[in-house]
Amino acid sequence: MPEFPIRKIMVVTEEIRHEGGTPPDRPRLRAAAMALVKNPFAGGYAQDLQPAMEDLKPLGRELTGRLIAALGGDADFIDGYGKGAIVGTAGEIEHGALWHVPGGYAMRERLGASRAIVPSAMKVGAFGSSLDVPLGHANAAYVRSHFDAITVTAHDGPRPDEILFVLAMSIGGRVHSRMGGLEAWQVKGEDGLR
């Protein structure tokens, strides 16, 4: 059974007060929780990776809890999410895909009515690489106001034999969103799309 020892956990929060226009009634909040972990598959090729997703479930739950706390502690207000991974250069992109189930489902469990797919981005990257983690509405993928990203980096990683796993959440859509389409207040929450 693979192990993913954690070297470091980081949480970043953003409070967006305006984007050049009139400040909104409430600032928009975004946050990302990240963990730099040892990649047990670095430097070689393993055919069967899927069982390792089970080993990452506790990390998904821990980062989810930290994100909810960073955004005020009340999951009912969180309406956007996303996930990502940067795999160090001794690994392969598929090692980042290990995060789909443990990261995505950990957030879905805690956020309750979250039917939309969890947007995701991953790449193999060198030390200090950044990643734009996509964000989308947690219950309806077609809500345009929530199409966004939060950029993350670990200044001291990932090392070649590490992976940076990331979860991200937000409260509210883009400040001054005005691109039309389905509005958050119109969400029916039946199919993850609308």
194 residues of the chain, pLDDT tens digit each: 578 999 999 999 999 998 888 888 889 999 999 999 999 999 999 999 999 999 999 999 999 999 999 999 999 999 999 999 999 999 999 999 999 999 999 999 999 878 899 999 999 999 999 999 999 999 988 899 899 999 999 999 999 999 999 999 999 999 888 888 877 777 787 777 78
Sequence spans of domains, the chain: 6-16+26-186
Q: At what angle do helices 52-70 and 100-111 cross, to 10 degrees?
A: 40
- What is the reported pLDDT for 184? 75
In this prediction, residue 7 carries a pLDDT of: 97
Cα–Cα distances (Å) from 180 to 6, 76, 138, 176, 188, in that order, read 42, 24, 18, 11, 17
Q: How do residues 113-147 score in pLDDT, each as one tens digit?
A: 788 999 999 999 999 999 999 999 999 888 998 99
Helix (H, G, I), strand (E, B) or coil at 71: coil
DSSP one-letter code for 65: H
Structure confidence at residue 140 (pLDDT): 86
Q: What is 6-16+26-186's CATH number?
A: 3.30.1330.110
24-42 per-position pLDDT tens digit? 888 999 999 999 999 999 9
CA distance readout (Å), 134 to 24, 60, 67: 22, 17, 16
**Cross-strand partners of 29:** 15, 171
Q: Is pTM, for the whole model, over 0.85?
A: yes
Model pLDDT, residue 142: 87
Instruction: Please give the pLDDT value at position 35.
Output: 98
The pLDDT value given to residue 136: 95
Half-sphere exposure of residue 137, counting CA atoms within 13 Å on the CB side? 23
pLDDT value at residue 182? 75
